[in-house]
Amino acid sequence: MSEARITNALTIDVEDYFQVSAFAPYIDRQDWDQRPCRVERNMARILAMLDASQTKATFFTLGWIAERYPQLVREIVANGHELASHGYGHQRASELSEAAFFNDIDRAKRLLEDLSGQAVKGYRAPSFSIGQGNLWAFDCLQRAGYQYSSSIYPIAHDHYGMPDAPRFAHQVRDGLLEVPVSTVRWQGRNWPSSGGGYFRLMPYALSRWLLQRINREDQQAAIFYFHPWEIDPEQPRVAGINAKTRFRHYLNLGRMEARLRRLLGDFQWGRMDEVFLKRASSVPADKAPLNGVAAHA
């Protein structure tokens, strides 16, 4: 059944398997160039899948990837998708100083814009690493010229999360919108419902129900995300990782692509900038609620 009333935002965090934050204790970033890269083949499959369903999406692209695979950036734009920033080096914002964070996001934005010839409006922090302890990151994003962020996950998690944050889009600085990834509110708690490892863990029917609940009961657009490596069950295995990391990373990789194809058919999808920025810019920030939450500075 199609949820045609509301267009949701489909997002892809463009990074390779060896760059995930959970692997940081096991893989030195100085060794990244020595690892077999698989992002090109996985992105080709994703772009073909989106083209077949006539779906447009937002690609939060790592500067490290863009620098080495500039044609990938151009293909994203040529296919009508939004190019956005995932920073340059996939370092958590919570682990950087304010100056280092600004340099990372500014470098990535400039690189992506030079390669694509288009303005980069959006940013997503690696591992949703903007939280209560580093809200200065929004000052940096504003200064770098971003128009929106999708960097807060309003859940409790052992690696990230800001469970008391607003669940829907809200203005965090003048001209800067924060669009948290989607959660469902149930029994006084926010529950993850926006993709990633949770989408691979839960039965597809449950994931679909959670997204439908956001559309029907909250009357809001949902934000869904995944990574290119999540459709690649043949990716090289990283040795020496602990059991929790192994479970989270490799669970149900072989089922992911088929689930995504079902998802594309069950909901209506679009780009982040078209779903959120157009609506946000149509009314004064101090007057109108954005996706159900009053705008605030």
Percent of the chain residues past pLDDT 90, beyond the cut:
83
- 124: CB partners within 8 A, 6+ apart: 11, 13, 60, 84, 85, 86, 149, 150, 151, 225
Q: Please classify residue 225 by burial: count the beta carbons closer than 10 Å to its beta carbon, then call 0-12 exposed, 13-18 middle and 19+ buried.
A: buried
Q: Which CATH architecture has domain 3-294?
A: Alpha-Beta Barrel (3.20)
Residue 292 pLDDT greater than 80, yes or no: no
Q: Which residues pair with 294 in a beta bridge?
A: 289
CA distance 259 to 241: 27
Which candidate, 3, 57, 281, places its Cα nearest to that of 169? 281
112-121, 141-150, 166-175, 286-295: least confidently modelled range:
286-295
Helix axes 39-52, 70-78, angle to 10 degrees: 0
Is the pLDDT at 253 greater than 90, yes or no? yes
Distance of alpha carbon 179 from alpha carbon 138, whole angstroms: 12
- Per-residue model confidence as pLDDT tens digits over 139-151: 999 999 999 999 9
Put simply, whether the predicted model's pTM sits higher than 0.85 gets the answer yes
Is residue 194 predicted with pLDDT exceeding 90?
Answer: no
More confident: 268 or 5: 268
Q: For all residues of the chain together, what is the average pLDDT?
A: 91
Q: How far is CA 13 from CA 174, 180, 188, in A?
A: 26, 15, 29
Distance CA 100, CA 201 (A): 35
**What pLDDT band is residue 192 in, cutting at 50, 70 and 90?**
confident
- The letter for the amino acid at 279 is R
